[in-house]
Homo-oligomer: A and B are copies of this chain.
Amino acid sequence: METSGGRRVGRPRAVQRPDSGLTPRAELLTAAAELFTTRGYAATTTRAVAERAGMRQASMYHYVSGKEELLAELLESTVTPSLTYARRLLADDTRAAEERLRELCRTDVELLCGGSHNLGGLYLLPEVRTERFAGFHAVRGELKDAYRQLIAATVSGGALAKSALDLRTDLVFGLIEGVILVHRSDPDRSVSEFARATADAALRIVGD
């Protein structure tokens, strides 16, 4: 029910928001992160995301194709910075592999625990198993492979047969991603302290 005759100025907004300085796409991602992690992915409508981002549902489709694209991009955002950093560490052969592995673990835990929403919690959605999220799985697989290469370059890891190396990699990667399940239990603890302790634990898993 709109007043006829009048002309709107600018992008129509269902809800007025203070100017966040974000692009519309970034506003949509922020809104989706909040709603997916608090209400749940399936229970969140594209309309709710659009409204939280201060725009109408129809306008949203100028910026994203829908809910799945938002979820895929949020998931990739939990992995891509770690992968970029892992590649830099892999290329740096001036430092011991143990030291570089420790730094990757620490950085990865800080990334997983440090955001304002527990995006890692979205990893286990059944929807994420579908083909639409192949990009996320590929990037996550590359990150795991970077862990494997760094572990293989350590003194203990270099002595392992392939299947033992794979197992060791899964355990270290499981420890790191496991922080998604535990860090909520003590939200007052310093993330950097927790990240350092997790990295120490990862190195203990690798060594024997």
Contact = CB atoms under 8 A, between A and B. Distances in A.
B179 A174 contact: yes
A: interface residue count bin: 35 or more
A185 interface: yes
Interface string A189-205: 10001100110010011
Interface of chain A: mostly helix, strand, loop or mixed: helix
Given A40-B125, A124-B121, A201-B171, A182 B177 contact: yes
Interface of A: 37-43, 118, 121-127, 144, 166-168, 170-171, 173-182, 185-186, 189, 193-194, 197-198, 201, 204-205, 207-208
Nearest to A204: B204
Contacts of A193: 167
Contacts of A207: 204
A170 B109 CA distance: 14
B194 A201 contact: no
B180 A124 contact: yes
